[in-house]
Amino acid sequence: MFGNFKGLCASTALLLASVSMAGAAEYTFKLHHFLSPKAPAQTKMLEPWAKAVEENSGGQVKIEIYPSMSLGGRPPELVNQARDGVVDLVWTLNGYTPGLFPRTEVMELPFVFLDDPRAANLALYDMFESDLKADYKGLEVMFLHVHAGNGLQTRDKEVRSPADMAGMRIRTPSRTGAWVIEALGASPAAMPVPELPTALQKGVIDAAFIPWEIIPPLKIQEQTEYQIEGAGKARFGTSVFQVSMNKGRWEGLPADIQKAFRDASGPEWWAKVGEVWRATDDFGIGLAVKSGNKHITLSDEETAVFKEALAPVVEKWTSEVSKKGIDGNAMVAKAQALISKHSE
């Protein structure tokens, strides 16, 4: 009887082990990013996307998300972490590595992007294979997206014209953002997003070009008094982000697993991400106003003055990328046409 009992235990253990193995993911991926686990980028974008991939794979895939640079390094190192295979996936800001993604910068330019992240994301999707893919050597892009656009958030100064910005030191999100700041008579200061609250608090910078969605997770309303944007929610350019995988890891995956990722990353998802960022942006400005900050929407006339002042930024970009054999004027026209199409 004792022998039968031992045999039963062994059989039960074997059965449980086989069930456990059957339920275990065969492919585990580490996704590294620079914001907190409570940021909308994780809770409303990365987590739903990861879940969709996992479900598409029938449980074969597990995506582990590591926020706040918890796997080491600084935000500008994320692209190379993915390229070098230190991590499998990253979500990062293209502008952290200036000049590395020149074609994609077209969507960052002031008054190319206006006020519609959904339309801009779909324009990026339409342009990716034909116009942008060459930027992403060593990477397999899952999706690109913009945020709702760079508004001006100032510590204590009301700004209604470029003349008001003379001498200000302003955080820039990218090299194109730096050109915007210089064109407006101010001085750019580059820094990762997590460093922004301290820089504002200590007066290292006077303002930042950054969207409203960052207000809640970093409590920017406590360090600023003014949030300023153009007429009709027009912004002073935007930033492009990417979720990308190490190319070697991607190429080593079987077709069904690649399909699980692709099916979660189609144009419907790119559009959805734009909607998510618009909603989180609206929530952020609402919080700032509720906290007593002043939300300034420039008049059409005031916005036109900014647009005229920023025209040289687009000219500078088209001139610079032309030296790399890129037809910048054609890309600007195409981006604007696609944004207009998807805004209808």
- On the question of pLDDT at 277 being above 80, the answer is yes
pLDDT digits (tens, 9 = 90+) for 162-206: 999 999 999 998 999 999 999 999 999 999 899 999 999 999 999
Is there a single domain that holds both residue 175 and residue 64? no
**Taking the model in full, what pTM does it have?**
0.90
How many domains does one find in the chain? 2
pLDDT tens for each residue of 218-269: 999 999 999 999 999 999 999 999 999 999 999 999 999 999 999 999 999 9
Alpha helices in the chain (DSSP H): 2-23, 40, 47-56, 78-83, 117-127, 175-183, 196-201, 215-218, 247-251, 255-263, 267-290, 300-322, 328-343
The enclosing H or E element of 187 equals strand 187-190
In terms of residue numbers, what domain contains 84?
26-96+115-146+240-280
Quick one: 190 and 83 in the same domain?
no
Report the CATH number at residue 78: 3.40.190.170
Looking at the fold, whether 226 and 167 belong to one and the same domain comes out as: yes
